[in-house]
A and B are shown apart, each in its own frame.
Chain A
């Protein structure tokens, strides 16, 4: 991180709140990285994605239609939201992230920068 990172921002307080870690798959191919994250119960408008410096933040708020006066008797999902952060590496193009969100699964495609695409290096035998 650079030295001119702000010390504290008001919204940073919410980073202290407990949240669930969404299970994630990360696959890398020659052109970039594909990330899948499970965020069940999060509607599209409650999903927040952010890339700041080299940190990718995925946040989502769970919104279920609970009947009025419902008493919970068993809860395996016991927190109202998800949060997870990833550090991106320099060859990824954070400006060209593509996101799809369907049935509670987030799919992110982060391409590699043009000049970071793989080149085959010839090995000279002398």
Chain B
């Protein structure tokens, strides 16, 4: 399964896709979920206190988004319906993703599954998961 890239005709994305496809065709053990890119596009980052995941999922009712954290795997799933085509209308360009989607991110071991926060703003889902207190960096005083 491979979704169209979120940014078609972006030259670098296309190179990236080519590279992925080439790697995939030579890789005897591909990822069971197919190529790692798709909809929604993901950005992941972190600070010493939390891990932040940004899912670029425009045009979705946040109430229908399904976000789950199971055994250190964060799953973001949902559905985006295609815009209805009025009668006697023609589609000239069709690039936007529609259909069901699911993306999975494996999280570092030190996150606290009880301290998770998710917000949807301007079509981006931001999931922030706090790291466990004991794993946060502490300055050690030298006696």
Contacts and interface: CB of A to CB of B under 8 A. Distances in A.
Nearest to A101: B122
Given A25-B93, A70-B46, A43 B122 contact: yes
Given A66-B45, A104-B123, A28 B54 contact: no
A116 to B, nearest CB: 16
Interface string A33-77: 010101111111000000000000000000111111111111111
A73 B44 contact: yes
Given A25-B94, A40-B122, A41-B122, A70 B56 contact: no
How extensive is the interface on chain A, given as a class?
Answer: 35 or more
A66 B124 contact: no
Given A20-B10, A25-B83, A66-B45, A104 B95 contact: no
Interface residues of B, number: 48
Nearest to B85: A27
A13 to B, nearest CB: 20
B94 A103 contact: no
B123 A74 contact: no
Contact of B92 (A27, A65, A74): A27
A103 B123 contact: yes
B96 A28 contact: no
Given A25-B83, A25-B95, A104 B59 contact: yes
Grouping DSSP codes into helix (H, G, I), strand (E, B) and loop, the A interface class, with mixed when no group exceeds half, is: loop
Interface in B119-136: 120-124, 126, 128
B76 to A, nearest CB: 13
Interface in B1-40: 4, 6-10, 12, 37, 40
Given A28-B90, A40-B123, A21 B42 contact: no
Contacts of B60: 103
B31 to A, nearest CB: 14
A12 to B, nearest CB: 21
B107 to A, nearest CB: 11
Interface of A: 20-30, 34, 36, 38-44, 63-78, 102-105
What are the 5 closest A-B residue pairs judged by CB atoms, nearest first?
A104-B123, A104-B58, A40-B123, A105-B59, A29-B89
Given A23-B4, A38-B58, A41-B122, 5 more contacts: A20-B10, A23-B8, A25-B91, A64-B43, A67-B52
